[in-house]
Each structure stands twice: as structure tokens, then as C-alpha cells.
Amino acid sequence: MNEMLRAIWRYRHFILSSIRNDLRARFARSRLGAIWMILQPLAQVAIYALILSRVLAAKLPGIDNRYAYVIYLMAGMIAWALFSEVLTRSMTMFVESGNLMKKIVFPRVCLPVITAGSALVNNFLLLLASAGVFALVGHFPGPNMLWLPVLIAVNLVFALGVGLILGVVNVFVRDVAQVMNVVLQLLFWLTPIVYMPTIIPARLQSVLVLNPLYHLVADFQSVILYGRAPGVVGLAVIGSASVLLLGISLLLFRKAAPEMVDVL
């Protein structure tokens, strides 16, 4: 692990330039450029809000803001956007970077760091845009917003741990990425982002609790919408499990890296 950290530090300029080039390449010849990073999730929020706000707004107790459901939805989307982007891009990063891995000598651990860095930039821009929307509707979160960097870090580590394992497996079994696209759609609806967990029948809520994203998304919503601190014990458990998962995924990646280059 220390060797990986030293490699990341030695190649920090390569990582930063790769993140910058990745962001530029994604929006080359685009007039709106980086704005496209936030337009899609904001458009998705607008569609759900337009269709469901009148139905679900009344189910948010203790909030007198008429736009409470929009805020609830955006808080969940901020968490989901980071998780889904890191996971989706991690699954294909080794396949897409096959030629680079064969032609250039660099620590392979730089690839997940570049993926995470690019996703963090996107999520930061989405967060800024969301803050502007919150200001427009008269919602100003309190000092507990300082928990957001912690929540984002836990979300990132969890997504990277899962994504790195799937990315390694996808090199050898290319169906993984296709299957996971369907699983992600299912996971989105199994996570209380568009709806409130209180509308789920009691017998199914015990199943919902098994979803780690349920707790992460709920913490984002608690901090942004209600101005409350997240559950520290639950966050510590998920954070510890995420770090352990990332450690396991890095060990798997380290052992599989030589074979991955041959397969690619």
C-alpha cells in the first residue's frame, strides 16, 4: 500500500494532466463545454420534480419550503451521480486504457486515481450548480454542510472499491460491464432518491436497510435538506467497510495487473 501511495505521489503531475486532458477530451468541440457535466443530472431532477413533486412533497415532515421535494431529490442525486460515475467508469477504465498500458510505462494504480479525480471535478460542479438552485428557492443549509466532504469521501471510496473489483473482472469477462448497467438501473430505484423510504411497506424496509447506498444517500439528504448531522456510528461503519473494500480491490488489482496487460 505504501508503495502505491509513493507511486501516486511521484506521478502526481501525470495524474493531474491526465485528469485535465480527460475533461477536455470529453467535451472537445462542444460549445457548452463543462456545463454538460451538470445539465444531465439537473434535467433528470427537473423531470422527476415536475412529475412527482405534488405527490411526494407532502410526505416530507418538518419542512415548510414548497420546494422541499426538489431539494430532497437534488441531495440524493448529488450522492448518486458521484457513485454511478465512478463505478461506471471504473468498470471500463482498464479496457479503454489497454493501448496506453501497453505503450507507456507508468504505475497502473494511477488509472483509478485519474478516474476518481475526474469524477470529483464533475461532482463539485454539480454541487455548485445545486447550491445555486438552493439559493434560488430560498434554502440555505446550515453549518452541518461541513459534513459534505466526509460524505463525498466515503461515497468515493465505496464506489472506487466496488468499481475497481468489477474493472479487473471485466478485463477477463467483458459481460460484466453490460450486466452492471442493468444492475445500476435497478439499484437506482432500490435507493430512496426519487421517493421517501417511508412509503415503502414495513416488511420491505428491512431489505432496504441492507443497501449501503440507502444510508449514504440518507446522510446527504439529512445534511442538505434538514441541516442535521449524519448518523456518526452508521457513517463510521460504512466508511470502515469502504476502506476495507478498497484495500481488497487494490490487492486484487495488484495481483491481476500483469495478466491484465497480456489479455488486453
Strands (E), 1-57: none
Closest of 73, 77, 160 to residue 111, by C-alpha: 160
- Provide the percentage of residues in the chain whose pLDDT is more than 90: 32
What per-residue confidence (pLDDT) applies to 29? 62
Polymer length in residues for the chain: 264
What per-residue confidence (pLDDT) applies to 24? 77
Rounded distance between C-alpha atoms, residue 40 and residue 126, angstroms = 10
Closest of 109, 128, 114 to residue 21, by C-alpha: 114
How many helices (H) and strands (E) would you count in the chain? 11, 0
Position with higher pLDDT, 1 vs 171: 171
- Looking up cell 432518491 gives 193
Contact status, residue 164 vs residue 246, Cβ threshold 8 Å: yes
Rounded distance between C-alpha atoms, residue 83 and residue 155, angstroms = 6
Q: How confident is the model at residue 187 (pLDDT cuts 50, 70, 90)?
A: very high
Model confidence pLDDT, tens digit, residues 88-124: 999 988 888 877 777 777 778 888 999 999 999 889 9
User: Beta-carbon neighbour count of residue 101 at 10 Å?
Assistant: 16
- Looking up cell 446550515 gives 142
Rounded distance between C-alpha atoms, residue 42 and residue 134, angstroms = 12
3-state percent breakdown (helix, strand, coil) of the chain, nearest 5? 80, 0, 20
The mean pLDDT value of the chain amounts to: 84
SS (H, E, C) 84-146: HHHHHHHHHHHHHCHHHHHHCCCCCCHHHHHHHHHHHHHHHHHHHHHHHHHHHCCCCCCHHHH
Contact status, residue 236 vs residue 150, Cβ threshold 8 Å: no
Q: How confident is the model at residue 176 (pLDDT cuts 50, 70, 90)?
A: confident
What per-residue confidence (pLDDT) applies to 6? 83
What are the cell numbers at 70?
A: 426538489
Model confidence pLDDT, tens digit, residues 154-168: 999 999 999 999 999
- Counting other chains too, the contacts that 146-149 makes at CB distance below 8 Å and 24 or more residues apart are 147/219, 147/223, 147/229, 147/230, 148/220, 148/223, 148/224
